Amino acid sequence: MPAYLDHNASTAIDPRVLEAMLPYLSGPYGNPSSLHRYGRLARDAVERARAQVAALAGAQPGELIWTSGGTEANNLALKGLCQGAASGRLLYGATEHPAVMEAAESLRAEGWPVEVIAVDDQGRIDGAAFRGQLVTGPLRLVSLMRANNETGVIHDLAPWATEIHAVSGWLHVDATQAAGKLPLDMSALGADLLTLSSHKIYGPKGVGALLVRAEVELHPQLHGGAQEKGLRGGTENLPAIVGFGAAAELAQQELEARIRHQQVLRERLDAGLRALPGTRLFGEGVPRLSNTSQFALEGWDGEALLMHLDRRGYAVSSGSACASGSGEPSHVLLAMGVEPMLAKGAVRVSLGKDSQAAEVDGLLRALDELRLRGSAA
């Protein structure tokens, strides 16, 4: 199998997470809502995991709503806060994940006033323009990611939270990529709602969470069950929730070690990329996640490069996983003012806690060989 260098797309389940999950696949099968002993065993496991995941974000267990992942959490945050509310604008960042962008655009189609927050050529929020937008009329919600899934660019959100709250807006933070890669504290960030996803932190796929401050009133998107205080009906996915809890606890315990390990490898990768003629590294001048580098190799189409790398034993991504196969240039890079042709050439490498220096060196060698052979290779 190729060396896996696509951890922002998804991660392998940690063996310790699998071990925590297995008893809940073969054992306690009661419904967490049932009052008998089977139900109570299941409920105890759900609540243990709730405390573990909430702790990863410095939140209270009572602030957590289980979802099927980051996509659902983002949809619940945006639609749940706007639908049923009287008025106010929704602002979102130009480099947000499609799960925020498209949820916001669906609200626009329903008549909700929606505005996009521009970024500069490094992918940072355009402060002057955003400050102006904050005060041009009633504000309902601002949705900004803590770290970008493609470039890894980190947004310093705490100062913005103060300004958003000063004009009576709420702040939703998509922390899907930040979790397990940056220290996360909902209060310090000033976030009122915060999205997490299990499969980016070595937990199972198909489970995530939205953390919601007690003062925030949400409109449920799923009806027909009293689970999660009526905000997200449906019987809980017990083994996945248990796995998410275990993964969150490990992510918190091992955070510093994971950052240190990935940072060393990422610097090795970036140094190698800078030495390759015709390579452009995106978001190079600003703080980025310790594991992520996005770049383009002159004359290469990103997807063609990805396929050649796959054949040579390296699994990378040509931008966000959702955009892969679409042939469209990355909206993130276009928002940063990158020319469409160059943006179409983008490749993302995202390292993981178990990545090795030999994998980075091998990838750099493969890139150099492909560069020398040219894009017709």
Ligand X SMILES: Cc1ncc(COP(=O)(O)O)c(C=O)c1O
First vs last C-alpha separation in the chain: 22
Q: 199 or 258, CB closer to ligand X? A: 199
Quick check: 70 binds ligand X (CB under 6 A)?
yes
293 bridge partner residues: 349
DSSP 208: E
The least distance separating ligand X from the CB of residue 177, rounded to whole angstroms, comes to 5
Query: What are the DSSP calls for 344-366, one per residue?
Result: HTEEEEE--TT--HHHHHHHHHH
Q: How many residues bind ligand X (CB under 6 A)?
A: 15
The only residue of 43, 50, 79, 97 in contact with ligand X, by rule CB under 6 A: 97
Q: How would you classify residue 14: left for phi > 0, otherwise alpha for psi between -120 and 50, otherwise beta?
A: beta
Query: What's the CA angle centered on 183, arms 180 and 185, to 5 degrees?
Result: 115
Binding mask 301-330 for ligand X (x = CB under 6 A): --------------------x---------
**Which residue is at the shortest CB distance from ligand X?**
70
Catalytic pick from 322, 334, 342, 375?
Answer: 322
Catalytic site residue 322?
A: yes
Quick check: 197 binds ligand X (CB under 6 A)?
yes
Quick check: 149 binds ligand X (CB under 6 A)?
yes
Q: 177 or 318, CB closer to ligand X? A: 177
* Stretch binding ligand X (CB under 6 A), from 103-111, 174-182, 264-272, 358-366: 174-182
CA dihedral angle for residue 163, residue 169, residue 171, residue 172, rounded to 10 degrees? -160
Q: 176 or 355, CB closer to ligand X? A: 176
* Stretch binding ligand X (CB under 6 A), from 51-59, 171-179, 339-347, 368-376: 171-179
Which is nearest to 96 in space by CA: 116, 73, 80?
116
Q: Cβ of 262: how many Cβ atoms within 10 Å?
A: 22
Instruction: Answer positive or negative: Cα dihedral of 360, 153, 287, 171.
Output: negative
Q: 306 or 370, CB closer to ligand X? A: 306
The only residue of 6, 14, 63, 174 in contact with ligand X, by rule CB under 6 A: 174
Quick check: 262 binds ligand X (CB under 6 A)?
no
Which is nearest to 138 in space by CA: 164, 99, 103, 100?
164
Residues that are catalytic: 322
Q: What are the residues binding ligand X (CB under 6 A)?
A: 69-71, 74, 97, 99, 145, 149, 174, 176-177, 197, 199, 208, 321
